[in-house]
Amino acid sequence: MASAYLAASGSAYFLPHTLVLLGGSGVLAFMAQRAFAVRVRGVRVTGVCVRHTFAKDGVAVIVRYEAASGEKFTCLSQPAAVACARIGEPVDVVYDPRRPKNAEVPPIGYGMAYILSTLALLFGVPGLGLLYWIVGG
């Protein structure tokens, strides 16, 4: 009965759009949560620059660091015109103690976390509105 109602009302056409909006919102919210986690509960440690990598925006460094558990991880810095460290030099790293792989090289700003949160809302609100309309709210 519900499928006949959806087909008759034309709202079935909007179901894939709704799912894309809500799915995209969920992914963006997850990414924003990871970004905020490093900023809120991050632990600062000193790692070592192990390699440079080149991108169109400049040079990024790959840093190896050790979490409090003793596990070793690597993270990638943001590309810059000049590498922030030479190979073998110490580099500060901030990581989430709950997920030590989630790490960033300072400086760490809130810009990307806020952008991701805003995009999650911009996708989620219309998605929820469409879902409300489809179910006949």
* pLDDT, averaged across the chain: 88
Cα gap 87→73, rounded to integer Å: 16
For the four alpha carbons of 51, 32, 81 and 105, in that order, the dihedral sign comes to: negative
Task: Give the model's confidence band at 74: pLDDT under 50 very low, under 70 low, under 90 confident, else very high.
Answer: very high
What number is the average pLDDT over the span 21-29?
94
Q: What pLDDT is stored for residue 5 in this prediction?
A: 52
What are the strands, taking DSSP E only, across the chain? 43-55, 58-66, 72-76, 90-96, 99-104
Q: What pLDDT is stored for residue 15 in this prediction?
A: 86
pLDDT digits (tens, 9 = 90+) for 75-122: 999 888 888 889 999 999 999 999 999 999 988 778 888 999 999 999
Q: What pLDDT is stored for residue 2 in this prediction?
A: 53
For the four alpha carbons of 114, 115, 116 and 117, in that order, the dihedral sign comes to: positive
Cα gap 14→122, rounded to integer Å: 17
What number is the average pLDDT over the span 121-133?
92
